[in-house]
Amino acid sequence: RCDIVPGRSESCAMYGSVRVQPDPKYIAEVVVLVTTLRAKRTEYNACKRVKDLLEIKRVHFKPIDFNRDARQAGSGESEQIAIKRLLEQGKLKTGENDELILPQVFIDGCAIGGIDDLQEKEDDDTLDALLLRRDPTRKVDEILPGMMTIEQALQEFCIQGREEEGDWDDDEDYESGECDEEEEEGVGGEHDAAVAGPVR
């Protein structure tokens, strides 16, 4: 089930419900160009591997689905903004016949590559440095600043949990912010400082 509630992340409509609660310590913006079109099996499987790797690490990411039907299911605003900006910056990689290569991962606006490149950085222990913004000389150029944020994802995660438990009274809890206390308890003391970091 994936009901759209005002203020909730559009990724719910584009790439399924949030399954793993993201960890706020990862403060970098992660944008992933994907396809949920199963007919393109190789690309679909590679996109799923990217999604699985990030979810295992509990990294919040912003999926941009190039499956037209999936985009039409949501508002499409975030996707169009991301695509337009990446095109203007010349960051979209294409293959033969100018077909878009998928998946593509961007961290703070920097092109990382596909699943093999992402996995290589994870294996080399260099991925966390990017996700935690440990390099002060690295430029932060978010693709979707203030959109599809981790705060929205955490709120969405809370809503889903309430719905599954049957302890949800319409949207009153969401609007009153009763989820906030539970989310803060789940963050843990060691991440308190990260929560105060830049909004992504």
- Read off the pLDDT of residues 147-190 as tens digits, 9 standing for 90 and up: 999 998 888 878 876 766 665 454 444 444 445 544 444 444 44
pTM above 0.85, yes or no: no
Between 98 and 195, residue with greater pLDDT: 98
Determine the Cα–Cα distance for residues 18 and 11; give it in Å rounded to an integer.
Answer: 8
**Sign of the CA dihedral running 95, 117, 16, 59:** negative
pLDDT per residue over 62-118, tens digit each?
999 887 654 455 557 888 899 899 999 999 998 888 888 999 999 999 999 999 999
pLDDT of residue 79: 83
pLDDT of residue 68: 63
What type of residue sits at position 89? Q
Whether the pLDDT of residue 191 is over 80: the answer is: no
Q: Are 9 and 156 in contact (CB under 8 A)?
A: yes
39: its two tokens: 């007919």
Q: Give the E-state strand segments of 40-139 in sequence order.
A: 62-65, 104-107, 110-113
